[in-house]
Amino acid sequence: MPCKGGYRQRIEDGKKRREQERLYEKSPERLYWKALVDRVHGQGGFDTLGEAEKTYYAVSCLVGEVYNGGFHQFFWNHSGSLYGHALSGLMDMEATQSLQLTMRAKELLFGDLPVPVDVQTRRDLLPEIEGLDAALDSVDKPFWKDPDKLGERCEAFARTHGLY
């Protein structure tokens, strides 16, 4: 007999979710990502990656940052220095809607100026987020809806290029 509050169903859903997370932690995708991050942050940096790895890494960082805190967070953090690589990657993956949203976010935050690679220079140019909330929402929210199915595109790109 099901409980009135639906607790049993939530417990079962939680068990399924944890099992999926355990399986993901052992997946080739997750193992490759962890190794790639270790290489970038501990063994020579981004410039030591091959072109396909740079593309995969830049787009994955863009996705992670924007999903976590929006485009402002992407440009504020170190990953913002990968803007050019992320754009190229989105083009390579034919993720046209995500590409347009990313370029629009850049225009909102930097206008016609190029995005500086240097973190501090970029942060100095970034406007305060207050007052830009509505404008940033107009690019963040559509990106969060994942119109190009970026996870699938990144996975296909990685497999096509033999990354994992």
Q: What is the pLDDT of residues 72-103, one digit of tens each?
A: 999 999 999 999 999 999 999 999 999 999 99
Instruction: Report the pLDDT value the prediction gives residue 18, as an integer from 0 to 100.
Output: 84
d(CA 108, CA 81): 17
In the chain the first and final C-alpha atoms are separated, in Å, by 46
pLDDT per residue rounded down to tens, the chain (164 residues): 556 667 778 888 787 888 887 877 788 889 999 999 999 998 789 999 999 999 999 999 999 999 999 999 999 999 999 999 999 999 999 999 999 999 999 999 999 999 999 999 999 998 876 778 889 999 999 999 999 999 999 999 999 999 98
Q: Are 70 and 136 in contact (CB under 8 A)?
A: yes
Instruction: Report the pLDDT value the prediction gives residue 4, as an integer from 0 to 100.
Output: 67
Q: How many helices, marked H, and strands, marked E, lie in the chain? A: 9, 0
Instruction: Report the pLDDT value the prediction gives residue 37, as an integer from 0 to 100.
Output: 95
Instruction: Report the pLDDT value the prediction gives residue 79, as an integer from 0 to 100.
Output: 96
**Domain extents for the chain?**
1-45, 49-160
Question: How many C-alpha atoms does 31 have within 13 Å on its Cβ side?
Answer: 7
Instruction: Report the pLDDT value the prediction gives residue 1, as an integer from 0 to 100.
Output: 54
